[in-house]
C-alpha cells in the first residue's frame, strides 16, 4: 500500500511539473485600440517560442470588462490552436501591474529617505542636548575672564546655530518627502483603489509537432471606454471658407492603462444586431381596459437623469489664444471609409490612463466653401445670426456633436452640429454678429382699436430696421409673423408687408434682403384683426 501511495505521489508530482512546463505566460503588449462610442476593441500581438506537444499560453493582466463573445485569437506558424478560454483571475489583482509597482517603489524610496532624515535629526538632538549640558557645567564650575567667556559663548552659539539650522532643513525635507508620498498614494487610490478589481486572463491552448517560432495576435472588446466628437468651427470673415476642427474626446476606465498605442476612432456600432428585422403579423381586437393599478413612484428616473446630466457635463469649453504665427498642425490622421462606417487612424501613439478623464485629440481639419447668410427674428431677438451652408459635408465623416464657434478670431458661443440630416446641404449656426443692428418698434400713429357696429377692429403696425455696419454687403433673411385665425368669427388682414412673402397657412412673413455697407433698411409690417366686440382676443 505504501508503495502504491508513493508511486501515486511521484506521478502527481511529475504531472504537475509537466503541466507547469507546458504553461507559458504570453507577454503580448497592447499595440492597437479601436475606440467606438461606448466600448473599445483592444489588440495584442507578440512572438512566442513553442515547444513540441501541447502548450497553454496565458495572456494575463487584462481588463476585467472583457466581452468573452468578442475574443478572437489568430496564430502564425507551424502549430494548431486547440482552444481559447477566458476568465477573471481574482488572485491576481490589477494593483500588481508594472505601473503600480513602479509607484510603490517610489513610495518605498521616499519612506527610506524620511527614516534617514529622522535618524539624522535624532543625532542632532543628542548633540544639542550635549552642548546645553556642557554649557551649564562649564559656567557653574569654572571661573572665566570676560574674553574667555565671550569665546565660549561664541563657540556655543555657533554650534547651536548649526544644529538648529540642520534640524530645520531636515524637517523641511521630511515634509516635502511626505507630500510626495501622499501624491503617489493618491495616484494609486484614484486609479485602482475604488474597486478591488480582478485581472482578466485569456488562455490559448496550442499544439505543435516540433519546436517552432510562432506569432500570436489576440483582440477583444471591453466596456467602460468610448469617445464622442466635438468641433471648433472658425470663420475669419464671410468671404472665406468655414474651417472645421474635428476632435475626438476619448476616455477609458477599463482598469488597465493604454500605453503608447495606436488609436483609431470609429463611428461603427458593432453591438447593434446586424440581422435584418422581421415584420411579425399585426393582430388587432376590441379594446378592453385593464383595472386601474396603484400608482407607484419610480426610483430610477432621477438617477438615470442625473447620469445623463453628468454625461452632458463632460463636454468642456477649450478656449485657445489666437497666435500671430502660423497655426500648429494636428497629428497625422488617415480616414478609412467603408461601406457603412468611417474610421480615423491616428499615426502618433498615445497613452490613455484608466482614470475616466477625457483626453481630446484632433483627428481632422477641413476647410469647406460655404454660402453665408444672416437670419433674424426681430419679434423674438435683436440679434442677427450668421449661418453657413456647406454642400460637401457628407464626405467628411462627421458625427453630431457640440460645436464651439469662433468668428473674426473671437469666441462667439456654442452650437450643435447636426450630422443626422437628409439634405445635401448642412446649415451650421455661427452665432450672432454684433456688426448688424436690428430693431423692431411699434408705430403708435398707425396702431389703433376701433369699434364699428358689433365688431371690434384692432390694427397693429411695426417698423423693422436693419443696419449693416460691416465693410461688405450682406444677405439677410428677416422673419416675422401675423396671427392666424382658428375661428370663422375672427378675420385677419395683412395691410402692409413691404413686399415680404406672406404664408397664409402659417402667418409667416419673410424678407430676403441684400444690404450694402453702412446702409439701413426699413420694413413695415401692418395687420388688422376684426372680431365680435363682446369677445376677447389676446393680441399682445
Most confident of 335-344, 358-367, 472-481: 472-481
pLDDT band (50, 70, 90) for residue 18: very low
State pLDDT tens for residues 484-509: 998 888 999 999 999 999 999 999 99
pLDDT of residue 312: 36
- Region label for 477, one of left (φ > 0), alpha (ψ between -120 and 50) or beta (otherwise): beta
Mean pLDDT to the nearest integer, 270-287? 62
- Higher pLDDT: 428 or 17? It is 428
Mean pLDDT to the nearest integer, 349-356? 90
Our CA angle for 38, 42, 45, nearest 5°, is 175
Lowest mean pLDDT among 299-303, 415-419, 440-444: 299-303
pLDDT of residue 124: 82
Residue 171 grid coordinates: 524637517
CB 40 within 8 A of CB 181: no
* pLDDT above 90 for 280: no
Q: How many residues does the chain have?
A: 540
Most confident of 91-95, 204-208, 364-368, 535-539: 204-208
* pLDDT above 50 for 19: no
| Percentage of the residues of the chain whose pLDDT score is greater than 90 | 32
Report the distance separating Cα 137 and Cα 139, nearest Å: 6
In the 8-state DSSP scheme, what is residue 248? E
State pLDDT tens for residues 172-212: 888 888 888 888 877 766 665 545 677 889 999 999 989 98
Q: How many of the other CB atoms lie within 10 Å of CB of 505?
A: 6
* pLDDT above 50 for 322: no
CB 155 within 8 A of CB 138: no
- Higher pLDDT: 516 or 339? It is 516
CB 402 within 8 A of CB 414: yes
Mean pLDDT to the nearest integer, 267-291? 64
Beta bridge partners of 243: 234, 367
Lowest mean pLDDT among 266-280, 360-374, 398-412: 266-280
pLDDT of residue 242: 85
CB 263 within 8 A of CB 350: yes
State pLDDT tens for residues 39-98: 999 999 999 988 889 999 999 889 999 999 999 999 898 899 999 999 887 765 545 556
**CA trace torsion 499, 505, 507, 513 (10° rounding):** -40
pLDDT of residue 139: 58
Q: Tell how many helices (H) and how many strands (E) occur in the chain.
A: 4, 28
pLDDT of residue 235: 84
pLDDT band (50, 70, 90) for residue 22: confident
Mean pLDDT of the chain: 79
* pLDDT above 80 for 466: yes
Within 13 Å, how many C-alpha atoms sit on residue 61's CB side? 16
pLDDT of residue 15: 40
Report the distance separating Cα 75 and Cα 129, nearest Å: 73
pLDDT of residue 296: 40
* pLDDT above 60 for 107: yes
- Higher pLDDT: 340 or 301? It is 340
CB 330 within 8 A of CB 365: yes
Mean pLDDT to the nearest integer, 283-303? 49
Our CA angle for 491, 496, 501, nearest 5°, is 90
pLDDT of residue 444: 93
* pLDDT above 80 for 358: yes
Report the distance separating Cα 307 and Cα 251, nearest Å: 16
- Higher pLDDT: 143 or 466? It is 466
Amino acid at each position: 500500500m505504501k508503495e502504491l501511495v508513493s508511486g501515486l505521489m511521484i506521478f502527481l508530482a511529475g504531472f504537475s511539473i509537466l503541466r507547469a512546463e507546458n504553461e507559458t505566460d504570453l507577454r503580448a503588449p497592447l499595440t492597437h485600440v479601436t475606440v467606438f462610442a461606448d466600448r473599445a476593441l483592444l489588440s495584442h500581438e507578440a512572438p512566442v517560442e513553442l515547444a513540441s506537444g501541447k502548450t497553454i499560453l496565458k495572456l494575463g493582466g487584462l481588463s476585467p470588462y472583457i466581452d468573452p463573445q468578442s475574443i478572437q485569437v489568430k496564430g502564425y506558424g507551424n502549430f494548431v490552436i486547440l482552444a481559447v478560454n477566458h476568465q477573471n483571475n481574482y488572485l491576481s489583482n490589477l494593483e500588481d501591474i508594472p505601473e503600480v509597482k513602479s509607484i510603490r517603489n517610489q513610495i518605498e524610496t521616499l519612506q527610506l529617505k524620511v527614516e534617514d532624515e529622522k535618524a539624522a535629526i535624532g543625532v542632532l538632538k543628542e548633540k544639542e542636548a550635549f552642548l546645553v549640558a556642557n554649557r551649564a557645567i562649564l559656567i557653574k564650575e569654572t571661573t572665566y575672564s570676560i574674553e574667555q567667556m565671550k569665546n565660549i559663548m561664541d563657540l556655543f552659539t555657533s554650534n547651536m546655530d548649526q544644529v538648529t539650522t540642520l534640524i530645520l532643513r531636515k524637517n523641511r525635507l521630511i515634509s516635502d518627502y511626505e507630500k510626495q508620498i501622499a501624491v503617489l498614494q493618491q495616484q494609486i487610490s484614484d486609479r485602482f483603489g475604488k474597486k478591488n478589481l480582478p485581472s482578466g486572463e485569456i488562455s490559448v491552448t496550442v499544439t505543435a509537432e516540433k519546436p517552432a517560432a510562432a506569432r500570436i495576435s489576440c483582440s477583444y472588446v471591453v466596456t467602460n471606454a468610448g469617445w464622442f466628437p466635438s468641433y471648433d468651427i472658425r470663420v475669419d470673415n464671410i468671404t472665406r471658407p468655414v474651417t472645421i476642427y474635428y476632435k475626438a474626446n476619448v476616455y477609458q476606465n477599463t482598469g488597465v492603462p493604454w500605453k503608447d498605442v495606436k488609436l483609431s476612432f470609429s463611428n461603427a456600432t458593432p453591438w447593434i444586431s446586424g440581422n435584418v428585422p422581421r415584420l411579425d403579423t399585426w393582430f388587432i381586437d376590441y379594446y378592453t381596459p385593464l383595472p386601474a393599478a396603484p400608482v407607484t413612484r419610480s426610483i430610477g428616473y432621477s438617477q438615470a437623469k442625473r447620469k445623463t446630466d453628468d454625461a452632458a457635463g463632460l463636454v468642456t469649453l477649450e478656449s485657445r489664444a489666437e497666435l500671430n504665427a502660423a497655426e500648429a498642425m494636428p497629428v497625422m490622421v488617415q480616414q478609412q471609409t467603408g461601406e457603412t462606417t468611417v474610421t480615423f487612424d491616428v499615426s502618433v501613439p498615445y497613452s490613455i490612463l484608466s482614470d475616466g478623464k477625457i483626453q481630446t485629440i484632433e483627428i481632422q481639419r477641413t476647410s469647406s466653401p460655404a454660402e453665408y447668410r444672416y437670419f433674424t427674428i426681430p419679434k423674438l431677438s435683436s440679434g442677427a445670426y450668421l449661418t453657413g451652408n456647406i454642400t460637401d459635408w457628407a464626405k467628411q465623416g462627421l458625427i453630431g456633436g457640440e460645436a464651439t464657434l469662433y468668428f473674426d478670431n473671437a469666441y462667439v458661443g456654442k452650437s450643435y452640429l447636426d450630422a443626422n440630416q437628409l439634405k445635401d446641404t448642412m446649415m451650421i449656426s455661427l452665432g450672432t454678429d454684433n456688426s448688424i443692428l436690428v430693431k423692431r418698434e411699434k408705430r403708435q400713429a398707425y396702431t389703433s382699436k376701433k369699434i364699428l357696429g358689433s365688431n371690434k377692429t384692432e390694427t397693429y403696425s411695426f417698423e423693422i430696421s436693419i443696419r449693416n455696419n460691416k465693410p461688405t454687403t450682406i444677405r439677410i433673411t428677416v422673419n416675422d409673423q401675423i396671427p392666424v385665425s382658428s375661428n370663422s368669427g375672427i378675420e385677419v388682414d395683412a395691410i402692409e408687408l413691404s413686399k415680404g412673402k406672406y404664408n397664409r397657412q402659417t402667418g409667416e412673413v419673410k424678407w430676403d434682403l441684400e444690404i450694402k455697407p453702412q446702409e439701413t433698411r426699413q420694413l413695415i409690417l401692418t395687420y388688422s384683426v376684426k372680431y365680435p366686440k363682446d369677445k376677447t382676443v389676446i393680441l399682445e
